[in-house]
Chains A and B, each alone.
Chain A
Amino acid sequence: MRVVIMGCGRVGAGLAQQLFREGHDVTILDTDAFAFQRLLPKFQGRRLHGSGTDDRTLIEAGIENADVFVAVASGDNRNILASQKAKEMYGVKRVVTRVKDPLRAELFERLGLETFSPTKVGIELARDAMMRDGTMRDGTVRGETGAAGEGTR
C-alpha cells in the first residue's frame, strides 16, 4: 500500500514505523524537519519536509498515486483541509483524519471523511477508569469489601 502520512508527531511517527515494518510504501510529511528525529534510523520510508495542505508538497509526496492518506498533524483545521484535498482533488480512496474536537470530528465524518477523535476516546477511557469496580456508577461509592474509593480503607 502507498501511504502518505501528514504530521510526524508521536502518532504519525509511530504509525509510519509500524506500516513500514509491515512492508508498506510510506512517505511522512512535517512542516518541521526537527520532528523527523522521532523516527528510528531503521525507518527507511521517505521523510518529506513540507506542509500537507500545500499542493506542491502533496504532489511531491506522491498523493496522486497514494492508496491512503492519513492526517495526524497538530491542527484540526489543517488536517481537515489536507484530507478534503486528498479526497476531493486527488481522488485518494482512503483518507483518515485525526480531529481532536469531537464535534468537528462528528461533522466531518458526516461529510465523508473517516475521522477519529483522540479526545473522545480519552474521555471514554477516563470515564471507564472512574467507573471501574462499580465506583460512582450512580453517584455513590459501592462495594463494602475494599472497592476503590474515598473512605473505604
Chain B
Amino acid sequence: MYIIVSGGGNVGYGIALELQQLPDYEVTIVELSANRASSLRDEIGEMVVHGDGSEIAFLETVGASRADLVIALTADDGANLVTAQVARHWFKVPRVIARVNDPRNEPLFRKLGVDSIVSASGAVMAQIEATLPEHTLIPLMALESAGLQIVTMRVQEGAEVAGRNLRDLQFPSGVLITIVIGPDGAETPSGDTVLRPGHEIIAVVPKDAEDTLRAMVTAPLPEEDD
C-alpha cells in the first residue's frame, strides 16, 4: 500500500508517523517549505520530500500514479482541493482524502467528489461536544460515496428510545445500529438489546436520517410556559 501525504504540518506528520508503524505501508510526505521538509527529514528520514503536492510534474516524480491513497492535509484549502482532484483525475488514485480548513468549503469538496473530508474545525467541535454531558449525535466519519455517516450518540434520560429494546424501535430506514456501549463495555446489539440512558451507540446513518435519529435519542424539550 503506497500512500502520499501532502502537507508535513502537525497533522500530516502525526498521520505519517502512525502509518509508518503499519507493515507493508509505504509513505511519502510532501512538504512545501524547504526548512520544514529538512527538519522533518532529520527526524523521520527519507520518506519526507520537499515539493509542491499540487504540482502534477512533481507528483509524477514521487510515483503518484502507483499510489493507493493520497491525503491532502495542508493548511491551504485551494492546494488541498487541487491535490485531491489531480490525484483522482490525473493519476487515477483510487482513494483521496482532503482536509478542509474553512468549514464553508466543505460542500464544495463534497460536490467535487473527495472521498473523505477531514475538517479540522469539525474534529475540534466533535471533541468539544463529546465532553459535554448532553451531547447527542456526533459524526465520526463521512462515507461520501454512499451518502452515509458513522455517528456516535448517547441516549438521554426520557428519550424515545430509552428503556426500550431494539426490536420495538422504528429507526429511519437505512440506519444500522452497529455497536452499543454500556457500563459493561461494548456489545454487538441484537433485537433484545435494551437502550438505557447513558448508553453510547455507534451507528451507520444515511445523511437525511440524522435529524430523526437525533430526536429519538434526545430528551424532549420541556414544554415552555407562555
Instruction: Give the B-binding residues of A (Cβ under 8 A).
Output: 53-55, 75-78, 80-82, 84-85, 88-89, 101, 103-104, 107-108, 110-111
Query: A80-B82, A107-B86, A110-B89 known; 7 other A-B pairs, CB under 8 Å?
Result: A75-B78, A81-B78, A81-B82, A81-B108, A84-B112, A88-B108, A104-B82
Chain B residue with minimal CB distance to A80?
Answer: B82
What is the size, in residues, of chain B's interface with A at 8 Å between Cβ atoms?
A: 21
Quick one: which of A80, A88, A110 contacts B111, CB cutoff 8 A?
A88
B window 34-90: CB within 8 A of A: 54-57, 76-79, 81-82, 85-86, 89-90
User: Are B56 and A80 interface neighbours, CB within 8 A?
Assistant: no
Nearest CB in chain B: distance from A92 CB, A: 13
- Known contacts A88-B108, A88-B112, A107-B85: A101-B55 contact under CB 8 Å: yes
What's the Cα separation between A75 and B74 when bound, in Å?
Answer: 15
In the complex the two chains form, what is the Cα distance from A82 to B78 in whole Å? Answer: 8
Residues of B within 8 A of A108 (CB): 85
Q: Provide 14 A-B residue pairs closer than 8 Å at the C-beta atoms, listed in order of the A residue.
A: A54-B102, A54-B104, A77-B54, A80-B82, A82-B78, A84-B81, A85-B105, A85-B108, A88-B108, A88-B111, A89-B107, A103-B57, A104-B86, A107-B90
- Give the interface of B toward A (CB within 8 A): 54-57, 76-79, 81-82, 85-86, 89-90, 102, 104-105, 107-108, 111-112
CA A75 – CA B55 in complex, angstroms?
A: 12
Q: Which residues of B lie under 8 Å from residue A76 when comparing CB positions?
A: 54, 82
CB distance from A54 to the nearest CB of B (A): 8
A111 to B105, CA, bound (A): 18
Given contacts A77-B54, A107-B86, A110-B89, contact A89 B111 (CB under 8 A): yes
Shortest CB–CB separation between residue B74 and chain A, in angstroms?
Answer: 10
CA distance A103 to B81 in the complex (A): 16
Asked whether, in the complex, the Cβ of A81 is within 8 Å of the Cβ of B90, the reply is: no
- Please give me the residue from chain B that is nearest to A108 by CB atom: B85
